[in-house]
Structure 1
Amino acid sequence: MNQQINIEDTTSASPLVDFWNDVLAPKFIQYRHILVGGLSRHSEVVFPMLAVEKGQRILDVGCGFGDTAIELANATGPQGDVLGVDCCAAFLDHARNVADGEGVPNVRFLCRDVERGLEEPPFDMVFARFGTMFFANPVAGLRAMRICLKPGGRLAHIVWRQRADNPWLIEARDIVRRYLPPPGEDAATCGPGPFSMADETVTRAQMAAAGFEDIAFRRVDAKVMVGRDVADAIAFQLAIGPAGETFREAGRLAEEQRPEIEAALAGMFEAVIAREGGLWMDSSSWLITARNPT
């Protein structure tokens, strides 16, 4: 059993945190095979760029099922320490089980909303993969991450680039919206959304306002797995992401239109050429790095 688990995990409630725990967490758990394995090629490209050093203390924000935190723990070695934080307690149950099963003693997990701060000694590095886009207040969230760093400490976070560069999410959304209206302004939400940090100029300004220096953007193009097969890909899109949000908010109308929507999505996914143990589609992200001033 991992001896570094903190049994006092808590996170202050907020509408966004409640939405993640009550609505999205069960869906993410159901499609964990896509959300972990499907993003593996982005991690394979990015991790060698992080230049993790042995013995470093690292914070993984929005660590989800713990795969990146465990990889960071292996990279920093037994002399180092990795803390994974996420606002969804159910994700962390899976993360701990994996860490225990793989025998990774230098990683621990806490249920926290990092935007509200952490009471932890400072870190050498803060990392986040596809989590910062959902900060309710991006500047405040980024500032909270910077405060977690030692003077001169490094931040590295991965966010999706523009919609046009990510057909794996947008093509399905566009198909669904042929049949259903877009979500209204009062729709329940998980935060600003997956493309909220896609614009380099805006995000660079947010990071500068949060106090970071040496801000750099590097484009990463990699395919993502969208499902084991066509049926899996359709179910995933109707549960999570922009297409899933549209379908969920449409309620009874969505169920009435389900046969037509599923048939249209099947036509899209059947045309996907890359089939290597699943369906793989094009995607593009930013690796954004920066430094806390000394």
Structure 2
Amino acid sequence: MANEHQAKAWNGYEGEHWASHHARYDAMIADLNEHLFPAAALTATDRVLDVGCGAGQTTRIAAGLAAHATGIDLSGPMLAQARAASSDLANITYIHGDAQTYPIPDNEFDVAISRGGIMYFDDPVAAFSNIRRALRPTGRVAFIAGGALKPDSDSMVAFKALSQFVPRPARESGDTSPNPASLADPSYARKIFAEAGFDAIAVQTRETVSVVGENAADATDFILKWGPVRYALDQACVSDTTEVRAAVTSALRPLETSSGVRWSSDVVLITARVESSTG
């Protein structure tokens, strides 16, 4: 089975946590919409495929701008939330499936979008080839992926504090295995999309701001419940998080503002077109 680890995570605790806190996650990454949708340039006649749609916020936005939007995601819990929130929208369809392998109909969509749902494919060329096949001739994509993890960025503050208790395994330079920054290298991203058959490929780094919590304590509580953080703490046999919580809260205090704990980080905006036959 392709992407087995991701399927287990997103149909287990990870997906359940996102589904239960979907409004908070959507608010945290709302700034990404300001990069994604202008790049997608949706029109009233477009049929849209939303890859890794999660709880469906981006699918609903797309449906409000286009003729029809279809969201596809591995996560049953998140799709249940998406369907519930979209029950009054006639121009939305959801698919519980893996965009790398799901038999999406050929030439079905004008645009494919994704807000952070494309970095974890076991075989990205196969995944993007499958998505390309689903696009009509002259179709296009606009995808947001995680950017390079800069040691001195705001977003690393909490994870530096965590690393005192949970050592993070070092990644070799050029490691493109599934991870949030797997498509952060523009030359690698262009190569993958070219191999998948796309043309007019552009990869841009954009700075984005996330609102992680109302204050440092609230943000810390939220972060410690994230799936990967919880998993790392369990693997390190950290059952009493008192010291961890104090260290992360202290590290986040300088990021407190009147509108919450805000941190900046880089993302990658990838756009491309299908300029030849999809046959």
Same fold (TM over 0.5): yes
Q: CA deviation at 1:271?
A: 1.3
Change (3 A) 1:19 1:282: same
Q: CA deviation at 1:125?
A: 0.6
In structure 2, which of residues 179, 182, 190 is the aligned counterpart of residue 196 of structure 1? 182
Matched, 1:109 2:94: yes
**Runs of 4+ in structure 1 over 4 Å off:** 241-245
Change (3 A) 1:232 1:136: farther
Structure 2 unaligned regions, length at least 5: 172-176
Matched, 1:84 2:71: yes
AA matched with 2:53: C
Structure 1 unaligned regions, length at least 5: 1-10, 186-190
CA contact (8 A) 2:36 2:115 kept: no
AA matched with 1:285: V
SS in 1 for 2:12: helix
Identify the residue that residue 28 of structure 1 maps to in structure 2.
18
Identify the residue that residue 247 of structure 1 maps to in structure 2.
233
Matched, 1:118 2:103: yes
SS in 1 for 2:255: coil
> Percent identity among equivalent residues?
27
Deviates more, 1:132-141 or 1:61-70: 132-141
The structure that is helix-richer by fraction is 1
Q: CA deviation at 1:181?
A: 2.7
Identify the residue that residue 159 of structure 1 maps to in structure 2.
145
Q: CA deviation at 1:165?
A: 7.9
Identify the residue that residue 39 of structure 2 maps to in structure 1.
49
Identify the residue that residue 174 of structure 2 maps to in structure 1.
none
SS in 1 for 2:70: strand
Change (3 A) 1:169 1:32: farther
C-alpha separation between the residues in 1 aligned to 2:183 and 2:72?
20
Identify the residue that residue 259 of structure 1 maps to in structure 2.
242
AA matched with 1:207: F
CA contact (8 A) 2:69 2:93 kept: yes
Identify the residue that residue 4 of structure 1 maps to in structure 2.
none
Kindly report the root-mean-square deviation, in angstroms, between the aligned alpha carbons of the 2 structures: 2.4
AA matched with 1:287: L
In structure 2, which of residues 251, 261, 265 is the aligned counterpart of residue 279 of structure 1? 261
TM-score, with length taken from structure 2: 0.88
CA contact (8 A) 2:10 2:16 kept: no
Q: CA deviation at 1:137?
A: 1.3
AA matched with 2:77: A
C-alpha separation between the residues in 2 aligned to 1:244 and 1:22?
13
C-alpha separation between the residues in 1 aligned to 2:201 and 2:83?
33
AA matched with 1:113: D
Matched, 1:289 2:271: yes
Change (3 A) 1:166 1:38: farther
SS in 1 for 2:179: coil
Q: CA deviation at 1:44?
A: 2.2
Change (3 A) 1:55 1:66: same
Q: CA deviation at 1:209?
A: 1.1
In structure 2, which of residues 215, 226, 230 is the aligned counterpart of residue 229 of structure 1? 215
